[in-house]
Amino acid sequence: MGVKGAKEVRKKQRITLDVLWKQRYLLMMSVPFVIWLIIFKYIPLWGWTMAFQEVKPATFALPIWERPFVGFENFTKAFEDRLFQQTMINTLGISILGIAVGTLTAIAFAVLLNELVFSGFKKVTQTISYLPHFVSWVIIASIAKNIFNDGGVVDSLVGTNLHLMSTNSPLIWLVIVVIECWKEMGWSAIIYLSSMAGIDPGLYEAAQIDGANRFQKIWHITLPGIRPTIVVLLIMSIGGALNVGMERQMLLSNALVQDHTMVLSWFSYMRGIKSSDYGLGTALGVFQSVVGITLLLIANKIASMVGEDKLV
């Protein structure tokens, strides 16, 4: 490295130190969150070693290095389990349907709120819409069963039993997704509304002068303006496709529909906790994480290839 190169390196170092000094308070504020991330997110990854060991009540108290090493036997047992295939189908079906319906309804609701002229009514509607996000799934499931069970509100309105929650078919997926959509639509719309607030009002004024109607302004200005937000949220949703929470399925399920409501997290709980086979349960958790990271990277790569915004 010559004299000129050394000067450039020192210049970059000074610039970096200057930036760090100017942002010292922000860096100090971030330290607790970094510590929290390390303690609760990275240190527990050491537990992944259980996926390659025989960890049952008889060996659980042993130190990690003394537990029997079984290699990929836990993964093999999980993949060969009679419930695994149907569980994967349920997980992917509910997840894909939820991502599609949830994204479309959240965007549509955000657009409708954004088009409201009366700000008072807009604020009240938005507040009411995101309140269900804070309601426990226990309460939501109780209400849903009164509505969708045989003889419930829906059956009373249509005059016949639709058997929405008592038929052993994937129809229960639609019920779960509709309830999830109702619960989270208002909360999800907040992000899109924030993105819409950043669109230049001059674009709407120019479109108005050119004679564009309201629908044309939504199609050509609003939706393209929030496209980066849509793409990023979709990528993150795809990355979590296998991490479908089991709470709503367990609470909305019954013996008649359980074959189509059991997801991977529920299956992992049954085999890992209820059956006391902690190695098998950990293997399922590792499988979910690895597949989720892979899907995230693939979706991010596809977004960059088609010229859309991406995570990194």
Q: How does pLDDT run across 86-106, given as a tens digit for each residue?
A: 999 999 999 999 999 999 999
Q: How confident is the model at residue 309 (pLDDT cuts 50, 70, 90)?
A: low
Residue 85 sits in the same domain as residue 142: yes
Residues 21 and 122: their CA atoms lie apart, in Å, by 43
**CA 93 centroid distance within chain:** 14
> Taking 60 as the threshold, does the pLDDT of residue 39 lie above it?
yes
**Which range is least confidently modeled, 127-136, 140-149, 278-287, 290-299?**
140-149
123 and 14, same domain (yes or no):
no
C-alpha span between 268 and 280 (Å, rounded): 8
Q: Which of 45-59, 121-135, 149-163 has the lowest mean pLDDT?
A: 149-163
Q: Which domain holds residue 255?
A: 73-305
117 plus 263 within the same structural domain: yes
**pLDDT tens-digit profile of 165-186?**
777 777 888 889 999 999 999 9
| Residue (of 174, 197, 163, 195) closest to 102 by Cα position | 174
Q: Does a structural domain hold residue 67?
A: no
- Say if 312 falls within a structural domain: no
Please list, in sequence order, all residues whose beta carbon lies within 8 angstroms of the beta carbon of residue 93, skipping any fewer than 6 positions away.
170, 173
* Closest among 170, 137, 169, 166 to 149, alpha carbons compared: 166
Of the two residues 176 and 62, the one the predictor is more confident about is 176
Q: Residue 69: beta bridge partners? A: 53
Q: What's the pLDDT at 133?
A: 92
- pLDDT recorded at residue 184: 92
How much is the pLDDT for 311? Answer: 60
What's the rounded mean pLDDT across residues 193-204?
A: 91
Does residue 215 lie in a domain region? yes
Q: Does one domain contain both 13 and 129?
A: no
The helix-helix angle for 171-197 and 137-148 (nearest 10°) equals 130
What is the per-residue pLDDT across 114-153, written as a single tens digit (0 to 9) for each? 988 888 888 899 899 989 999 999 999 888 888 877 767 7
| H-run or E-run covering 156 | helix 153-158
Using the structure block, give the residue that is written with the tokens 């290839």: 305
Average pLDDT, the chain: 87
Q: Are residues 48 and 153 in the same domain?
A: no
Task: Let me know: does 99 contact 237? Beta carbons within 8 Å.
Answer: yes
Beta bridge partners of 53: 69
At 2 the pLDDT is 59
The end-to-end CA distance of the chain, in Å, is: 32
What Å distances lie between residue 196 and 89, 182, 193, 234, 309, CA to CA? 36, 22, 5, 17, 16
In a domain, 57, yes or no: no
What's the confidence (pLDDT) of residue 223? Answer: 93
64 domain residue, yes or no: no
pTM for this model (two decimals): 0.84
57-61, 85-89, 258-262: which range is least confident on average? 57-61
pLDDT reported for residue 147? 82
State the pLDDT at residue 216: 93
Q: Are residues 25 and 141 in the same domain?
A: no
Q: What is the CATH number of the domain that holds 276?
A: 1.10.3720.10
At 215, is the pLDDT very low, low, confident or very high (cuts 50, 70, 90)? Answer: very high
Number of domains observed in the structure of the chain: 2
Query: pLDDT band at 239, cuts 50/70/90?
Result: confident
Helices 24-37, 3-22: inter-axial angle, 10-degree rounding: 80
Nearest by Cα to 299 from 109, 85, 99, 87: 99
What pLDDT is recorded for position 100? Answer: 94
pLDDT of 14 > 70? The answer is yes
Do residues 156 and 30 both lie within one domain?
no
- What count of other Cβ atoms lies within 10 Å of the Cβ of residue 183? 20
pLDDT, position 132:
92
Asked whether residue 248 falls in the same domain as residue 125, the answer is yes
The burial class, CB within 10 Å (0-12 / 13-18 / 19+), for 224 is exposed
Q: Are 33 and 94 contained in the same domain?
A: no
For residue 41, being part of any structural domain is answered with yes
Does pLDDT of 1 surpass 60? no
Taking CB atoms within 8 Å and a gap of at least 24, the contacts of 124-130 are: 126/186, 126/189, 126/190, 126/193, 128/186, 129/185, 129/186, 129/189, 130/186, 130/187, 130/189, 130/190
What would the mean pLDDT of 69-92 be, rounded to a whole number? Answer: 92
**278, 60 Cβ separation under 8 angstroms:** yes
| 206 pLDDT tier (thresholds 50, 70, 90) | very high
Going by pLDDT thresholds of 50, 70 and 90, the confidence category of residue 312 is low
- The pLDDT of residue 5 is 65
Q: What per-residue confidence (pLDDT) applies to 93? A: 92
- CA-CA distance, 69 to 81, in Å (whole number)? 21
| Six-digit token string for 239 | 């990355």
pLDDT confidence of residue 230: 92
The amino acid that residue 292 corresponds to is G
Could you tell me which of 106, 101, 99 has the C-alpha nearest to residue 235? Answer: 99
